[in-house]
Amino acid sequence: MDAQAVLRGLLVLIVNVVLTAAEFNRVCFYSGWSLYRDRKLGLAPEDIDPYLCTHIVFAYATLDDTGTQLRAPDGYETEELNLFRRFHSMRSKNEDLTMMLSVGGWATDSKLFSKTVSSEANMQRFAEEAINYLRKHDFDGLDIDWQFPATRGSPPEDVQRFYRFLRLLQWEFEHEEEPDDKSTLILTISVDPTVERASMSYDLPRYSRWVNWINMKMFDFYGHWDDPSIANHHSALYSAHDPKNVNNLSRYWVNKGVPRHKIVIGLPMFGRSFTLANTNYTQPGAPTIGAGSDNGDGYPISQLCHLIKNGAREMMISDKRVPYTIVGDEWIGYDNPESIKQKARIVFNNFLGGIMIWTLDMDDYRGACGRPYPLMNAALDGLHARHGYNELITNAKQDQAQQAAAKKEIYRQRALGWQMQDQQEKIHSQQRGGRGRGW
Ligand SMILES: *[C@@H]1O[C@H](CO)[C@@H](O)[C@H](O)[C@H]1NC(C)=O
Ligand SMILES: *[C@@H]1O[C@H](CO)[C@@H](O)[C@H](O)[C@H]1NC(C)=O
């Protein structure tokens, strides 16, 4: 190969990188309970920045007792429809947004999913009902977060039944006569990508054939639930010794044969907190006696950022390349903008499918500690997607500016019209010999 060919190849590569950079999926989960967590401070759907993400996923819907029908989330049925409608109001600002519904999560009994996949008839019924439900509530796709096949009352056969279920569902989605101006429904799954869990609960390389992509939750690797309980970061970026980290797990799934463009890396917008057994021992790995002040629910960055801003020292776990802090007897492992950016860079450098954000409403979306959405913006930086984002923002602003200008012009024309009428009237009245009104 001569030097010119190499250069040409390089150029093509660079052009491709630049072209695809803005096209990574940015799949943002929004928790329906955000407003219920804190009515005043929760992120309202209409306040979400509609340009940060390519897909926004509402979490979670659940299942009825037969496992064949989607049901609105438990706990706020009466407001359910209104919440969906408000959620979709984002489309009026960015019509390119894809809005999805996720079913499952920890609160949905694994046995219900087991019923869904227990027979061909149930799978079929689920597919039909799901299509109706999604269309009725104006969603563009479905995410399935079954925690987990082959556990919590689900038998080992469910791993292969889940495969048949996904195949059937994708087939039904593809053969739906979709409404005018709507596209084929998207199908994704959200999974725990650790090798232990995956080898028990999934067959991801085979599943990947029938889903548009897989949301890999690269967090909650460790927590207060571990025995023995030690201060351990829940979402390491690297590690030479522990394979539970974003770098190694991404590589693992590529090597296992999941297509790169279907691997979407989950990024946590929260830390995990522990209560130290002895405040004299605070190093990573120190003994703990359970969850910290987050009560095991996770520590949203929107709250955590205040600790750092108020002087809590940020320390790095050098081989894992993620930060932690200590406040009193509390040990908190979390992500900062730099570690999030590096995680997103793994997606960029390895041509993976994109990033998944868990969840948008836990980032500092108000900018109470600085710039709004610090982690989400850091992720955009890591993907080199800021360009696309800025363009969208600029276009939207231009659209608004253009609309405003057009309105102004109409008013100007009207005003001109009135002026002209006034002038004509003046001329008329002059022609009439200066006789004014009143004759
Ligand atoms: C993780 O990946 C790195 C290379 O980036 C490798 O050196 C290391 O051995 C891997 N660690 C494990 C535990 O697999
Ligand atoms: C921590 O260390 C100090 C000084 O060495 C000691 O006085 C104290 O008892 C220790 N605290 C605990 C809880 O062990």
Q: Encode pLDDT of 20-61 as tens digits.
A: 444 799 999 998 877 776 667 788 888 899 999 999 999 999
Q: pLDDT, tens digit, for every residue of 83-122?
A: 888 888 899 999 999 999 999 999 999 999 999 999 999 9
Ligand 2 centroid to Cα of residue 281, in Å, is 10
Mean pLDDT of the chain: 88
Hey, whose CA ends up nearest to atom 3 of ligand 2?
Answer: 280
Beta bridge partners of 143: 102, 188
Q: Determine if ligand 1 sits within 6 Å of the CB of residue 248.
A: yes
pLDDT higher than threshold 50 for residue 15: no
Cβ proximity of 141 and 98 under 8 Å: yes
Hey, whose CA ends up nearest to atom 4 of ligand 2?
Answer: 280
Give the pLDDT of residue 280: 97
The ligand minimizing its distance to the Cα of 280 is 2
* C-alpha pair distances (Å), 403 with each of 25, 89, 396, 406, 413: 30, 20, 10, 5, 15
Ordered by start, the domain boundaries in the chain are: 24-267+336-385, 386-422
Q: Are strands 330-333 and 270-276 parallel, antiparallel or unpaired?
A: antiparallel
Hey, whose CA ends up nearest to atom 12 of ligand 1?
Answer: 243
- Backbone angles phi and psi of 186, in degrees to 5: -90, 145
Q: What is the pTM of this model?
A: 0.85
**The domain over range 24-267+336-385 is classified in CATH as 3.40.50.620:** no
Q: Determine if ligand 1 sits within 6 Å of the CB of residue 1.
A: no
Closest ligand 1 atom to residue 241 Cα is: 13
The ligand minimizing its distance to the Cα of 349 is 1
Ligand 2 centroid to Cα of residue 279, in Å, is 8
Distance (Å, rounded) from C-alpha 76 to C-alpha 74?
Answer: 6
- Better pLDDT: 343 or 427: 343
Mutate to test the pocket of ligand 2, among 276, 280, 282 (most ligand atoms within 8 A of CB): 280
Q: Determine if ligand 2 sits within 6 Å of the CB of residue 278.
A: yes
